[in-house]
Amino acid sequence: MTDTTAEQDILREPADKGQIHPDVLQNIPVTLSIEVGRAVIKIRDLLRLTQGSVVELDRIAGEPLDLLVNNTVVAQGEVVLVNDRYGIRLTRVVPASERLDKL
């Protein structure tokens, strides 16, 4: 099978209209981010922030971090180092049913 034939197969409309071909779906880019915590502050206090300022977050030290995909929490984990880079070791994956309830 040539590349052109494979591309045509991927782009071909599925037999059941309204469905997306799995190969197309799996190639959609998403934004992955890690949330350490949040804070709500007044604009007055925001304007006073300078280098060295500390902003207290709503999380307790050692609490799991949130792994978000397109701003939706999908898992929680802890920070790890991987070859001098930060990574996250997943400790909990949010069930799909729980994620759908928050939409």
Q: Which domains are delineated in the chain?
A: 29-101 (2.30.330.10)
Average pLDDT over residues 45-57: 96
CA 81 to chain centre: 19
Average pLDDT over residues 23-39: 92
Residue 29: what pLDDT? 93
What tokens does 49 get? 């922030």
Its pTM stands at 0.68
57 sits in which H/E element: none
Bridge-based pairing of strands 85-93 and 72-82 is antiparallel
Distance CA 76, CA 6 (A): 37
CA 76 to chain centre: 10
Cα-flanking dihedrals φ and ψ of residue 58, to 5°? -85, 5
Residue 34: what pLDDT? 95
Average pLDDT over residues 25-31: 91
